[in-house]
Structure 1
């Protein structure tokens, strides 16, 4: 059984019935125009997948019956925690979407000195929910069954203070290539600055937290392009793209 992939934040149990979330129900019944008997592929975001069949389509909800539950796939053996400076408009969405497609394990939006976005209270909560939904949608598309967590935004200093990954990298124009010689790498912290770059003080702080420089060639990349290239390199050297 195949069909569109849909995320449901629920325990998947064979032979059980469940109602799809409101957004997923609208998508299945409205955009996809699926009806009773149609097949779906569900995933819970925690690594489990299920084949399901639509048993009822209403005006506001779609009910399905699970026919089989399996362990999900498409997860990289490399766990990368991306610290991404917050950017305006669709650029942050793009970075989160592509990072998810490239197997990132977690993402933390960061407030930096040169960053021009500051979120507070309800606005921050709404933006965080939106970013998590972007990650969910990317998982539906790319076949991942485990949704990366998008953590609440925090300052760069706070994020750096919590890092204990085996390999820690900051995007910075430098000739440092020592990271290429690392071995037994399973967990990586990757820091990407804002459009205006990280300040000299922030670079010094990152280096003091054992971050090595990762250079992406002679051209200056946009803040949403840089994590795509960096994650591709990391997956090639230490993950599942090699």
Structure 2
């Protein structure tokens, strides 16, 4: 049986079930002790018992159908019944450069970007951005954002967890860009979304509340980014990537 048919057969026999991110390599027939986070979710939140089926994915593209074989207050053990390559990845690899925003706005932008198939996310320090993270605070935020991305993969059916890179300045990020299509959302333009090329890679720049500053715009233009408007209404910084990514996936991806 092919790997695709194996996955379809396993899902058909067990129906809809929870998906958990477990970043370890699994092989058919092996036993796996779930990490503390997934174990707590299975036993205390979902209240699943021995014999219950679920799906785990390793974050790099592999999925596995497993069954709970031991459940206790301290740990949960599963047996791997089937392994197959995951699906749900877009043919368009988009690298999102997102200006860091306050509170839950950044979480929302990351969550929705992952649901829409983004390949990588880099939080950016921009001219008008008023968030500056240092030391332990930056490390904690980065770990939190990566957890948001993993959770979005669990929900959306993706088996690859896109990296949330350490925050960097916009200038540094622009210097690393080599994508075939490079777009920045910018209010002071009337350039609509009408690209005729069909790229395999794209970079998308989203500014902070209030938009990109003049110096940021000039730097992006020098890096061959095309200014883009999404229409006459001003979108919030966490809404803009959702709309732009939807358009990109519709035109060049799999929506």
> What's the TM-score, normalizing by structure 2?
0.92
**Correspondence 1:175 to 2:171:** no
Of 69, 78, 91 in structure 2, the residue corresponding to residue 64 of structure 1 is 78
Tell me the equivalent position of 1:219.
Answer: 233
Tell me the equivalent position of 2:7.
Answer: none
Runs of 4+ in 1 over 4 A off after TM superposition: none
Query: Does structure 1 conserve the Cα–Cα contact (< 8 Å) formed by 2:28 and 2:80?
Result: yes
For structure 2, the residue ranges without an aligned partner over 5 or more in a row are 1-13
Query: Which deviations, in whole Å up to 9, do the C-alpha atoms of 1:132-154 show, x marking residues without a partner?
Result: 00000000000000011000000
Hey, what's the Cα distance between the residues in 2 that align with 1:20 and 1:211? 44
Tell me the equivalent position of 1:234.
Answer: 248
**Correspondence 1:117 to 2:136:** no
Tell me the equivalent position of 1:102.
Answer: 116
Hey, what's the Cα distance between the residues in 2 that align with 1:180 and 1:73? 29
Q: Show the 5 A alignment for 1:147-158.
A: 147-158=161-172
Cα displacement (A) at 1:60? 2.4
**Correspondence 1:131 to 2:145:** yes
Hey, what's the Cα distance between the residues in 2 that align with 1:238 and 1:54? 40
Tell me the equivalent position of 1:89.
Answer: 103
Local SS of the residue matching 1:180: coil
Hey, what's the Cα distance between the residues in 1 that align with 2:66 and 2:157? 16
Local SS of the residue matching 1:149: coil
Q: Give the aligned CA root-mean-square deviation in angstroms.
A: 0.9
Of 69, 75, 79 in structure 2, the residue corresponding to residue 55 of structure 1 is 69
Query: Which deviations, in whole Å up to 9, do the C-alpha atoms of 1:50-99 show, x marking residues without a partner?
Result: 10000111212211010000010011100000000000000000000000
Query: Which deviations, in whole Å up to 9, do the C-alpha atoms of 1:171-202 show, x marking residues without a partner?
Result: 0121224x623423010000000012110111
Hey, what's the Cα distance between the residues in 1 that align with 2:39 and 2:210? 41
For structure 1, the residue ranges without an aligned partner over 5 or more in a row are none
Q: Which moved more, 1:32-41 or 1:52-61?
A: 52-61
**Correspondence 1:206 to 2:220:** yes
Query: How many residues of Structure 1 are paired with residues of Structure 2 in the alignment?
Result: 240
Query: Does structure 1 conserve the Cα–Cα contact (< 8 Å) formed by 2:127 and 2:215?
Result: no
